[in-house]
Amino acid sequence: MGTNEKKVKKTRGASAGIVILFCAIVAFSVFFGYFGNSMNFDEKDHPLNPFGAIYQGGFVVPIILTLLLTVIALSFERLFALNRAKGKGNLVKFVEQAKAKLEAGDIAGARQLCDAQKGAVASILRAGLIRYEDVESITNLNNDEKASIIQKEIEEATALELPTLEQNLSVIATISTLGTLFGLLGTVLGMIKSFAAMGNEGAPDSTKLAVGISEALYNTATGIATGALAIISYGYFSGSVQNITNAVDEVGFAIGQTYTTKHLGK
């Protein structure tokens, strides 16, 4: 059996760079093309609706919108990718059925389950089962060495698959901080404008004061919303990856136990 047949086929997700670029184009286009449209302002450039008020938030707003859209896009990408990695059926049920097959010594039945389930866990288990059948024909190694080979095969298959499961999660984690920081930056810039308007001699410029406050508040709101969504997304998908990893550990341990039990005393 060739090595390529035993290795897990890696499925790469969407490139974070391309997603960010696309989201930036959308965010800046909407910000300047729609939010900045004259229909959202009166003849004195006062906003007539929330879109005009958001436009007055300044250049930081489209940056935060880019981050927000990126989190949403990568969250959907991870949702589809991890669902695909779990396979067609319920992952917990698959692990239970696979362990039952292994405990009964039904290696062929376990492979059939993997073929039907598909996904990362099934692919990793299948790689271990193929190696299981291979080592039984080796005569110059003891049982402990053979069990070690099976375990190593599972570890290698897991190492190939794990990076694809965690892909783009680091980007989401980074945005959880960047969103809040850019929101804070917009808040500071807006407050600077507000204090500058209040510092003029005579009556404060009410328009500039309103623009400064608007910039501060909208940047604060969008920044916090972006950071919060990124934190929730990262936590959810990190938990999903951990569940898949735990399932791999379970079936990997079950294979080792099956081989040890079957060949005990030989």
pLDDT at position 37 is: 87
One-letter amino acid for residue 88 of the chain: K
pLDDT at 140 over 80: no
pLDDT at 74 over 90: yes
Please compute the mean of the pLDDT values over residues 182-207 and round it to a whole number.
72
**How far is 52 from 217, CA to CA, in rounded Å?**
14
**What mean pLDDT value characterizes the chain?**
81
- 115 compared with 191, residue with greater pLDDT: 115
pLDDT at 6 over 50: no
Any idea which residue has 């550990």 for tokens?
A: 249
- 200 compared with 178, residue with greater pLDDT: 178
What pLDDT band is residue 202 in, cutting at 50, 70 and 90? low
Contact in structure between 151 and 256 (CB atoms under 8 Å): yes
What pLDDT band is residue 230 in, cutting at 50, 70 and 90? very high
What pLDDT band is residue 8 in, cutting at 50, 70 and 90? very low
The number of residues making up the chain comes to 266
Encoded tokens for 176: 């959880």
Encoded tokens for 132: 């299981």
pLDDT at 61 over 80: yes
pLDDT at position 170 is: 92
One-letter amino acid for residue 245 of the chain: T
**How far is 153 from 103, CA to CA, in rounded Å?**
20
**How far is 117 from 100, CA to CA, in rounded Å?**
15
Residue whose C-alpha is closest to residue 71's, from 169, 163, 181:
169
Does this model's pTM top 0.85? Answer: no
Which residues, 6 or more positions from 187, have their beta carbon under 8 angstroms from its beta carbon? 216, 217, 219, 220, 223
Give Rg (Cα) of the chain.
28
**How far is 42 from 56, CA to CA, in rounded Å?**
13
Mean pLDDT comparison of 21-25, 37-41, 189-193, highest-scoring range = 21-25
pLDDT at 9 over 70: no
